[in-house]
Amino acid sequence: MFSKLTIVVASVLITLAAAIPNTVPVTPPTSDQCCQSVVDSNTTAAGAVLAELGIDLGDITVPVGLSCSPITVVGNNCGDITTRCDAPEIAWHGLIAINCIPITS
């Protein structure tokens, strides 16, 4: 009787452990960029570039960097706006970077 109870309890615990969702937030990778400007995604300028690239952000308004290039050297003198953006899954040839937060020192 005791061994059957142990198996049932172990089975229930395993089932519960599998049913509990993983609640660890996933942080997207970021990329330091030098952008000519940072505007909201719902502006005309950002909308034109997003439409040209076929990117649909829906109703989400996020800061986007326009005319960006990656900063790959420590101490690089950007000359424009140094930002930290979500690393793109695909390259948009420096036209735009999504979810850019200016870096101030």
d(CA 102, CA 105): 10
- Beta-carbon count within 10 A of 34 CB: 20
Q: Quick check: 29 and 97 in contact, CB under 8 A? A: no
Q: Which of 32, 51, 33 is nearest to 41 (CA)?
A: 51
d(CA 20, CA 69): 42
Q: Is a pLDDT exceeding 70 seen at residue 1? A: no
More confident residue, 30 or 15: 30
pLDDT above 70 covers a percentage of the chain that reads: 68
Confidence of residue 76 (pLDDT cuts 50, 70, 90): low
Each residue's pLDDT tens digit, 22-49: 666 666 688 888 899 999 999 999 999 9
Q: Quick check: 100 and 35 in contact, CB under 8 A? A: yes
Q: Where are the domains of the chain?
A: 30-102
- Average pLDDT score over residue span 71-99: 80
Q: Is a pLDDT exceeding 80 seen at residue 68? A: yes
